[in-house]
């Protein structure tokens, strides 16, 4: 009798499991965050800052050329460079007082002291051409201020102001301001009775502020022009 062969699957508990082949560790890719700001943004910010700077320049330098009425004065139309300070007369709501560059300010007025000499009539025309007039002196303080200014460099001898004699003994300011003899600053013995001396100068060498002389209109002298300051 033939022997029956039986096959059985036998598992051994101590059998080692098949080795697991491990590949190289995966390299973690860095996370790519979306760009938060476009490349042109810094340029836009720079442009905006530049525009702000330009606006400030306009406010500080261009606005002095505009009155509150929006209409530039004759003086403003003649000059593009201005000098401003924070001294503002009471009763105004502006922050700066401005005069053309090279002019001198006292209270609410700007003054131009010429370095050249002209006749009386030409002096008046020159001031008018600059949007101003020959100075009209309204107070002792203004007279003292101008007397000191005329003594500064360059050296001057006589300086025209805006006081004229229309008829013998009848003096009048160029802007029609009434002439007040008690508020005049003539030198001793002036004005002279000569009918042809119908213009007025400040005689600079006079040590006091009573320094007005009447002179002939044809004489060549320096001049003082006056215009209202601009408040901004």
| Tens digits of residue pLDDT in 70-101 | 557 788 888 989 999 886 655 555 678 999 99
pLDDT in tens, 205-225: 999 999 999 999 999 999 999
pLDDT value of residue 86:
82
Provide the pairing of β-strand 109-113 with 133-134: unpaired
- 196 token code pair: 């042809």
Q: Mind listing the domains of the chain with CATH numbers? A: 55-231 (3.10.100.10)
Residue 14 has pLDDT above 50, yes or no: no
pTM of structure? 0.69
Q: Are 227 and 105 in contact (CB under 8 A)?
A: no
Please report the sign of the dihedral spanned by the C-alpha atoms of residue 69, residue 74, residue 77, residue 83: negative
- Give the Cα-Cα-Cα angle 219, 111, 101 (nearest 5 degrees): 120
pLDDT in tens, 21-52: 455 555 555 555 555 667 767 778 888 888 88
Please state, in angstroms and rounded to a whole number, the distance separating the CA atoms of residues 170 and 179.
9
Among 21-30, 175-184, 221-230, which range has the highest average pLDDT?
Answer: 221-230
């Amino acid at each position: 009798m033939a022997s029956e062969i039986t096959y059985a699957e036998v598992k051994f508990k101590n059998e080692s499991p098949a080795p697991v082949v491990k590949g190289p560790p995966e390299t973690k890719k860095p996370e790519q965050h979306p760009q938060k700001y476009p490349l042109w943004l810094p340029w836009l910010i720079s442009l905006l800052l530049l525009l702000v700077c330009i606006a400030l320049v306009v406010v500080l330098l261009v606005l002095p050329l505009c009155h509150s009425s929006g209409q530039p004065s004759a003086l403003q139309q003649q000059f593009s460079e201005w000098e401003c300070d924070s001294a503002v007369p009471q009763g105004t709501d502006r922050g700066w007082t401005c005069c053309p560059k090279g002019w001198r300010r006292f209270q609410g007025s700007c003054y131009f002291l010429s370095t050249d000499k002209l006749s009386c009539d030409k002096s008046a025309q020159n001031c008018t051409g600059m949007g101003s007039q020959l100075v009209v002196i309204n107070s002792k303080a203004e007279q003292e201020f101008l007397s000191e200014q005329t003594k500064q460099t360059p050296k001057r001898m006589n300086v025209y102001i805006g006081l004229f004699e229309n008829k013998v003994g009848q003096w009048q300011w160029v802007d029609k301001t009434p002439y007040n003899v008690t508020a005049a600053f003539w030198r001793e013995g002036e004005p002279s009775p000569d009918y042809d001396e119908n213009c007025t100068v400040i005689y600079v060498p006079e040590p006091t502020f009573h320094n007005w002389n009447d002179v002939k209109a044809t004489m060549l002298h320096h001049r003082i022009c006056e215009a209202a300051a601009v408040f901004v």
